Structure 1
Amino acid sequence: MPEFCDVALPVPLDTAFTYHIPDGLEPVVGGRVLVPFRQQRMSGIVVDAHNRQPSVKTKDILNVLDVAPVLDDSLMRLARWIADYYLAPLGEVFRTMLPLGAEFKRAIAYRITEEGRLALHQAGMSGSSARSRRTPEEQLTEFRVLDYLGARDTVREESLRAVARVSKTLLSGMGRKKWIVREDFSGVRDATRTVKVAILKSADCKLNENQSLLVDTLAAAGGRVTVEILHTLDVPRTTLGTLVKRGLVEIAEEPEQFSVSGLKARRSPFDFQFNSAQQGALKRIREAVDSRTFSGMLLHGVTGSGKTAVYLAVMRAVLEAGRSAILLVPEIGLTPAMAADLHQVFGNEVAILHSALSDQERAEQWHRIKRGAARIVVGTRSAVFAPVADLALIIVDEEQDSSYKQEETPRYHARDVAVMRAKMANAIVVLGSATPSLESYFNAKKKKYALVELPDRVEQRPLPEVEIIDMRQEFQETGHEQVISRKLTEEIKERLSRHEQVMVLLNRRGYSPV
């Protein structure tokens, strides 16, 4: 068994840290471990296990969080490529790839030292020191902290700051004076989302008016109602507790349900006949998927040409073959609508990943994907790291959108990462757009990507009429600088006279670019 392991931590340092493996612990490469780092505990990913003796003294890992890797070999390779290509620390890449922050709880506590007790005693005897660099108010706060800690063993940081009204800066200064000791109790926690449910057991008793209202509400709902809903009723919260004590109602914790989307699904794309261009695009993508070799495709289709229908059709074929697919959308606002469409077609095989979910929801969705309960993933740029098995297809919708570029470390571009992940997995990547980015269109013209075009809108629907007004000519004719042209003003007035709506899009955000 290896004696040491190298751990990548989410810190801005481009290196892994070597730790000793104590007896009884068996970390796995690609799994998480809890380790001490400086004055705190951190969760990191094991990148190597070996018997090479370091030249410096090593610390022991504290705990093994995973008995099996959370990142398989392909995702480990992808992480190393991102770290190298975007010049980012490997540990911070892993942090971006794993939405499991809800499973790690940071807990800091403080306790008083003998020096702190002596300082408290001296302050009680002689008052605040005139030689101290602290103001009298800050000294008073310090002694308030010491007095509170002196009556207790250890106190959590949040409790101490709330009671003593002390800042982190002041606590750090007290630590440097060795008056108090900071201790890190961070560790794993259960991130399972649960909901409390009230279950009606019996109603054959004498009840007052408030109790009757709760019992009637439970009975009308089939005997089961969430406690949150019962708390919205106009009765004291103690009423429910009284019913529980009398054995009439039982409170149980159950897994909270997750809704993929609250939106109503649009008309199914399979309710109408694909046109010849859609059929050709679908055939080419399916043939590429069946080949099980990497290839990139640019699906260039005008707005309304039915690209989404092609996406869903090829994803259904992938799912029927027992494989997995990822669909990336540029904005969180687009995710619910796309998820509703996917749920309509694929049911519970769909998982979503984006930053608008809570930490617990993201962890739950990630685990669903990891254990194979969901083989279709839709989400924003971070969904490109979804731990799907047997990846066959990655679709990047609106591939030209700038929101695929992350602005924090690691500053990756999800479209480019999607291409590289597909290449590593021998999968197909489809870049869809009505207005492709310059680099993607260039790659298609140079035969690096296959170019698949949808030139017409579905059902021969006409494109909207577009008229460009030269505002320079407008100024010459009117002599006035204005934002809205005379033509646009007339069109707006005409629509308003018909009681229709008008949407005006401005290309400014209310500030002047520097």
Structure 2
Amino acid sequence: MSPQSRCKGKKIVQVAVFAPLRSTFDYVFESDNDQNLNIKIGARVRVSLRNSKRIGIVVSFSRSDVTCERKLKNILEVIDNEPIVSRKMLALASWAASYYHHPIGEVISLMLPSKLRKGDRIPSSKSYIWSASQAGRDALEAGTVNGARQLELLQFLASNPNNGLEIFRSLTFAWQVPLKKLVEKGWATKTVSKATNVEAISSKSKVILNSEQLNAKSIIERNLGKFCPSVLYGVTGSGKTEVYFEVMQAVISAGKQ
């Protein structure tokens, strides 16, 4: 019997187990149908290790024609249909494990919330996007929008269509009630996002800085390249971290550190 026929219906996966162990481990994922070999890199699995059940992340695949001849344990359960850790994050975890001489499985586990480390499934959730409707655009043109906040918010939605909740963080006024009224009047639409995989659902829209954040960012960037300490003051939740992120992105884009 050829290696290909012996390995048919099997996929050999390398798993980083959430345990203080320096290496990854090979396991077999078997299926009666080759088309059903849908285990993915970055997904969590449940495996048997030293007579105990452990959670781990699939980090790579091995050549089945070489490794399926070995006596390997089977994957007990595939927890995630889609990756919950991206390849970029896996690469970062691999670098951190090498740099700090720490077990790769523990590094990856620290990237996850405690419930996911324990094997809990990701709850199904919906994300929404808001836009100005055609009726809302017509109302803007006709000048029939009453209320300064509703007018400002509707103009904002008309200029920034199809965005999630993150887009509203750039606003400097309470937008929740005006947004609800716009939807009730039919001037704004609220629809379920078409995102289907874990990364798309969990990813955030690009943050738009408000005027105060933009001013702080501009001042800091003017002093880049020279010794000039900057102190960014703001209450908790005012968006200081977003300013730091934007400044760091500008430095990285310029090829500097």
Which of structures 1 and 2 has the bigger CA Rg? 1
Structure with greater contact order relative to length (CA < 8 Å, sep ≥ 6) = 2
TM norm structure 1: 0.26
